[in-house]
Amino acid sequence: MGKVLLWIAAVMFAIYLVKTQYLSSSTWTPFRDGCLAGGSATQAQCDCLADYVHERFTDEEVQRIMDNQVTDPVFAEKVNQTVIAGTLSCRNPQ
C-alpha cells in the first residue's frame, strides 16, 4: 500500500511540475494588466479578453503584440480581428 501512495504522489508531483512550468503563460498577467491600465474595462472583462487572446496566439506572439512589433500586415489584421471579436465576446463576461 505504501508503494502505491508513493507512486500516486510522484505522478501528482509530475503533473504539478508540467502544469506550472509548461502550461502556464508568462504573458497572461502583463496582458491583463495592460488591459486594466486602459481604464475602460472591468477586471472580469480584462480576464476574459486575456483568455480569449491567449487561446488564439502563442506567448511569443502575444509578447510581440504587447511590444508593438507586429510588422506583417496579415498578422496585424488577424490581431485586429481577434481583439475586436474578443472585446465583443467579453462585453458581458459570465
**Mean pLDDT to the nearest integer, 40-47:** 91
Q: How many domains is the chain partitioned into structurally?
A: 1
User: In which band, very low, low, confident or very high, does the pLDDT at 78 lie, cut at 50, 70 and 90?
Assistant: very high
What pLDDT is recorded for position 89? Answer: 92
**Mean pLDDT to the nearest integer, 72-93:** 92
Assigned domain for 64 exists: yes
Q: Are residues 49 and 87 in contact, defined by beta-carbon separation less than 8 angstroms?
A: yes
Given a cut of 70, is residue 22 above it in pLDDT?
no
Given a cut of 80, is residue 60 above it in pLDDT?
yes
Assigned domain for 52 exists: yes
Identify the domain containing residue 65 by its residue range: 27-89
For cell 504587447, the residue is: 66
**Mean pLDDT to the nearest integer, 70-86:** 94
Q: Report the candidate in 46, 13, 45, 14 with the shortest Cα–Cα distance to residue 29.
A: 46
Assigned domain for 70 exists: yes
Assigned domain for 85 exists: yes
Given a cut of 80, is residue 28 above it in pLDDT?
yes
Q: Are residues 53 and 20 in contact, defined by beta-carbon separation less than 8 angstroms?
A: no
Assigned domain for 94 exists: no
pTM reported for the whole predicted model: 0.72
Assigned domain for 3 exists: no
